[in-house]
Amino acid sequence: MAKDDYADILEALQIQMVETQAWAIEQGLKVVIVFEGRDAAGKDGAIKRMTEYMAPRQTRVVALPKPTERETTQWYFQRYAAHLPAAGEIVIFNRSWYNRAGVEPVMGFCTPAQHERFLHDAPHFERMLTQSGTLLIKLWLDISRDEQARRLEERVDHPLKRFKVSALDAEAQARWSAYSAARDEMLNRTHVDYAPWTVVATDKKKTARLNIMRHVLRRLDRPGLECREPDPAVVFSADAAQGRLAQ
């Protein structure tokens, strides 16, 4: 995609996002957007472009650190529930309660029993969330192994990406198969009609960003929205993902 074309399309979508949020505030909507995906899948960049011109008081991006000793003794969903939106707010989780479906079991940060309990409980938690009037949008950003390796290597020597470098980066490649298995089980067991997963292919970063914004706008469904459907080759339902996910 030519740089000028990308910039023009992005600006048009950002305008639609601003207009849609203004409508959502008037309507008192409560919106949660969950961004999940492997390391370097493009979560930060997609969130940054989507929220760039959104209302700062009604938009919150939540990226929680490692839980404290006290938090590890709480109900697992408790520290996430504290950040849920009130009327007119959009909350974006840059990684979410689904840490317990991916990073934690793969890296041994939770027990198999805790992992199983989470997979059982997450749909019930999300049913309560959606029945309370919250619109829940769950995005899985999928990336190929080669593209992930390229992006992780690029971070190391980039002076502006210092805070993206993590001690766990090497594990992302070394434990690729384990992460794939965890992802597949997560999608299979937590993709439900009231809280479905949408997969986004992110090897082409700019294309992914534009299509994520299109998907979110279509889910919010503002009257008079001027936004075409996302590209089905880039954005698709988890129940249509067989054979299309990076292995």
Question: Is residue 6 very low, low, confident or very high in pLDDT (cuts 50, 70, 90)?
Answer: very high
pLDDT in tens, 119-129: 999 999 999 99
pLDDT of residue 193: 98
Instruction: Read off the pLDDT of residues 190-228 as tens digits, 9 standing for 90 and up.
Output: 999 999 999 999 999 999 999 999 999 999 999 999 999
Task: Convert 75-88 to b/e letters by CB count within 10 Å (16 or more is b).
Answer: ebbebbeeebbeeb
Above 90 in pLDDT, residue 1?
A: no
- This prediction has a pTM of 0.96
Dihedral over alpha carbons 210, 100, 71, 88 (to 10 degrees): 30
Q: What is the mean pLDDT of residues 48-72?
A: 97
**In the chain, what is the greatest distance between 2 CA atoms, to the nearest angstrom?**
51
Tell me the DSSP string of 89-151: EEEEEES-GGGGGTHHHHHTSS-HHHHHHHHHHHHHHHHHHHHTTEEEEEEEEE--HHHHHHH
Residue 165 has pLDDT above 90, yes or no: no
| b/e 90-102 (16+ beta carbons within 10 angstroms → b) | bbbbbbbbbbbbb
Domain residue extents for the chain: 3-240
How many CA atoms does the CB half-sphere of 176 hold within 13 Å? 15
Neighbours of 223 (CB within 10 A): 6
pLDDT range class, residue 53, cuts 50, 70, 90: very high
Percent of the chain with pLDDT over 90: 92
In whole angstroms, give the CA distance from residue 195 to residue 28.
20
- Tens digits of residue pLDDT in 147-160: 999 999 999 888 88
Contact 153, 177 (CB under 8 A): no
Mean pLDDT of the chain: 97
CATH code, residues 3-240: 3.40.50.300
Cα(61)–Cα(136) distance, rounded to whole angstroms? 15
pLDDT tens column, 81-112: 999 999 999 999 999 999 999 999 999 999 99
Vertex 238 angle, CA 233 and 240, to 5°: 60
Q: How far apart are CA 207 and CA 112, in angstroms?
A: 37
